[in-house]
Amino acid sequence: MMNKVLVFLAILVLIQGYQLTREVKKTVNDQEIIIQDIQNQEKIVKDVANEYDQETGRMLAAFTQAAYCLPKKITKWKCGNPCKKYQGMQEITVIQSANKVNKGFIGYYEPLDAIVISWKGTLKIRQWMEDLNYFKTDYPYCDGCKVHRGFWMGWQGLQNYFWVAFKKLREAHPESRIYLTGHSLGAALSVFNAMDLIQHGYTDFVWYNFGQPRIGNQAVIDYISENLSNQLMRVTHGRDPVPHLPPKDFGFSHPSQEIFYDKGSSPEKSHTLCSKTNGEDPECSNKYVFTTSVVDHVFYEGWDYVYNIGLCII
């Protein structure tokens, strides 16, 4: 497993060289393309909580990439291609743990009258070491619930900062729809974020995660299912190893519904709508015995995470 992690980190170390050698293609009709992208957002129906929508998935995957960027670039909405495609994010607050290990942002997305919450994934060995321990701890809000200790501690380090920012934005936009998303470790954080929202009476939000690891035992999964009625769209891609960690043999499970892109991750590629009741559907990503493709972990919804993140972390 550590070898896989090191491969991923090696890819990230090469970002700067990668971006210097890659030609950024521009066309004379850039402005026309941007206008068309904004018009395409009209296709995103606000009432999509229980059905997978490809354009919503592409948009939220873009927002997960933005969460990786330097805070000053997030607040100015200067995150490269994802921010250019989805213009209109306002009133942005970057949320970081005190040790600055975990990070995300919350903002108001004017084109959809939406509050967006997005959490970044893993970039450093320190975080991966936290991800890779398989110890569980009690989750205090449901009987018999056990959660991954590292992920839970990660959320606890963000929790207070999140609620200060969320309450301020909610007061300004009390009727706006909530969109929640995360990639990799950020997807795990979004699960605890979702469970916190439940505790505060928020149970109607659009929720997409990408490359999400398992976060707890079956009791936690049942708690999520009972309270959120299959709102989670858990997108997986090919042989991405992260959704298979921690292993099932350690007593961890996934919530449904999995959305599985097997051959390619772009929205125009075919995908499988997996079981709505079994988060461990054997016909989806679990069909693979060997899940070793780090590349699959950094390509979601047609986005090249390595390239786009590389443009906004330096």
Q: Which residues are catalytic?
A: 184, 240, 297
Tokens linked to 115: 């509050």
What 3-state class would DSSP assign to 248? helix
Q: What are the φ and ψ backbone dihedral angles of 72, each rounded to 5 degrees?
A: -65, -30
Helices (H), 76-203: 81-85, 125-131, 149-172, 185-199
Using the CB atoms, write b or e for 122-152: b if 16+ within 10 Å. Answer: bbeeebbebbeebebeebeebeebbbbebbb
Q: Catalogue the long-range contacts made by 85-92 (C-beta closer than 8 Å, 24 or more residues apart).
A: 85/34, 85/37, 86/37, 86/41, 86/59, 86/62, 86/111, 87/34, 87/38, 87/111, 88/38, 89/116, 91/169, 91/172
Give 216's DSSP letter. B
